[in-house]
Amino acid sequence: MYGARWGEGLLRVEATGGAPRVVTRIDRAAGEGRHAWPNVDVSTGLLTFSSVRLIDQHERSDVRGWSPATQRTSTLLEHAWFPHLLPSGYLLAWRQSRPVVVRVDAQTLLVEDNLVALPFAARRTPDGVPLVALSDRLAPVWLAADGVTLLATSTQGGESDFRLVDLSRGTEQRLTARPTPPGSLRACTRVGEHSGLDLAVERASQVIARVETPADETAPALSPDQTFMAWQSDASGQWQIVLARVADPRAAQMVATGTSPAWSRDGRTLWFLNGDALMASVIDAATAQSQPARMVTEGVARILGTAPDGRVLVVTRSAPSTALDVVLGWAEEVRARTDREPRLPRSFR
């Protein structure tokens, strides 16, 4: 279950795949813009999510809940977001980076009045779980079922990355794109001193390979066995996918025009985007050569990752809206709210 683009509610996709199914619909009359951060309690089936509105060009959120017992939706917490139902029936949410907890009846959606706001100092929730509040630079993304392990994004110095936060200890760990064992390689993009964006391959914080040219190189992707590295370069004047052995990055070859390279789990296929087309190129590990790329599908906005069975998880581009909203009786509403006659534009007179 996930929140889609602005103007939509929550969508659901079965574990076996298939077309997304609508779970919730936004209430435009109430000013809702989208539903986000869904959380389903396995024991009760209670669905909690954030109802996001746009006010003065800023997003505002309330936590809402849907009960499978009553088939009813209700607002649980105002001015809050990122909900998670703890095993004891307490709802954990965030207000301005501060965690708050309140007891919620999963059947009736009734909320107790005694809201507990957890201060920045360490403190235990009604479940007995020690919690610490987040600093302003951390934005919650997802809370694990244990109610303690939090995935958050961190913004420092204009750069963002993922952090794994232990709320019981107040510690955090920076995450790479995929957890790697000690001694493994890590590829990253850096700003060159005399060029644009450059690449570096590190092992235990020691740089073992560099890609430095007058052009921009970014989006590095290491093959699963860390033999090859693919990236995107604008050396030709447009973004192209480049492939090289990590041991000899200077002997690089152009694969095709494209961006956002990603490897299949077996390291035999290199996925990338050409505009909104998802492309695939088979890589010969013996010769370090790539076969001509083939188009798999169109309408793709971003590659999220690859599965062990060879499937690719992507974000698709939304189709252009053809809906036309017709507002009836707007003149009467303006007159009732302002006690003035509405003035029509000249083109409507």
Domain boundary assignment for the chain: 2-175, 185-316
Q: DSSP 3-state helix, strand, coil percentages of the chain (rounded to 5)?
A: 5, 50, 45
Beta strands 269-274; 277-284: pairing state: antiparallel
Which of these, 176, 179, 242, lies nearest to 215 by C-alpha position?
Answer: 242
- Identify the bridge partners of residue 300 per DSSP, sorted by sequence position: 316
**Which among 104-108, 161-165, 259-263, 314-318 has the top mean pLDDT?**
259-263
Cα separation, 75 vs 93, whole angstroms: 13
What is residue 158's predicted lDDT score, i.e. its pLDDT? 46
Instruction: Please give the CATH superfamily to which domain 185-316 belongs.
Output: TolB, C-terminal domain (2.120.10.30)
- In degrees and rounded to multiples of 5, residue 29 shows phi and psi of -65, -30
Rg (CA), the chain: 25
What's the start-to-end Cα distance of the chain, in Å?
48
Confidence of residue 348 (pLDDT cuts 50, 70, 90): very low
Mean pLDDT of 172-200: 70
pLDDT reading at 304 higher than 90: no
Average pLDDT score over the chain: 79
What is residue 124's predicted lDDT score, i.e. its pLDDT? 52
Residue-wise pLDDT tens digits, 23-64: 898 988 888 989 988 988 888 889 999 999 888 777 789 999
> pTM to 2 decimals?
0.48
What is residue 62's predicted lDDT score, i.e. its pLDDT? 92
pLDDT reading at 177 higher than 70: no
Classified as helix, coil or strand, 137 is coil
331 contact partners, CB below 8 Å, separation of at least 6? 342
